[in-house]
Amino acid sequence: MEKRTITITPIIFFGFFLCMLLGFLITFGIEHTGKFSFLPDMSGTSMYDEYGRYKMTNYVSNDARVAKLIYDSPLGATIEKPEPNLTVWDVRFADNISYETKFPYVIESTLFNYKYILIIGLALYILLVLSTKVKIRYK
């Protein structure tokens, strides 16, 4: 019986961690394209008009506080958190939301979508292993 040895080169060993890191970075980059929406704080407004009828529409001023900020990621995660420091004006135009406010939502949705990190990382690792071990020749 012949002994066989399995050799693991450093590129295969460290390539796994590199591919997982790239999977995380790619997923993190995709998560940056998510959309923000909000629920305004309506505690100070009446839901009834002066005749006692239920209002079908309520107008929210730009100075109203945001009760809940909602982040919908392109990979399917929905993150909802209360944001008492933001006004409707800050959120109505997404460019006004600072990256400091966006960053926790993006990180949380990236970690929530860990399966995409694994899928992308393993796909890159398989490509790395195949490209280093398999030689393709064209005639």
The whole-number average pLDDT for the span 19-25 is 95
pLDDT tens track for 74-126:
998 899 988 778 887 777 765 667 888 889 999 999 999 999 999 999 999 99
User: Of the candidates 67, 74, 78, 75, which has an alpha carbon nearest to the alpha carbon of residue 38?
Assistant: 67
- Decide which of 14 and 1 is more confident: 14
* Predicted model pTM: 0.75
Distance CA 109, CA 103 (A): 10
Q: Facing residues of 121 across strands? A: none
Residue 105 to residue 83: CA distance in whole angstroms? 12
Over residues 7-22, mean pLDDT: 86
Give pLDDT, residue 44: 67
H-assigned helices in the chain: 10-31, 88-92, 99-112, 114-133
Domain residue limits, the chain: 30-127
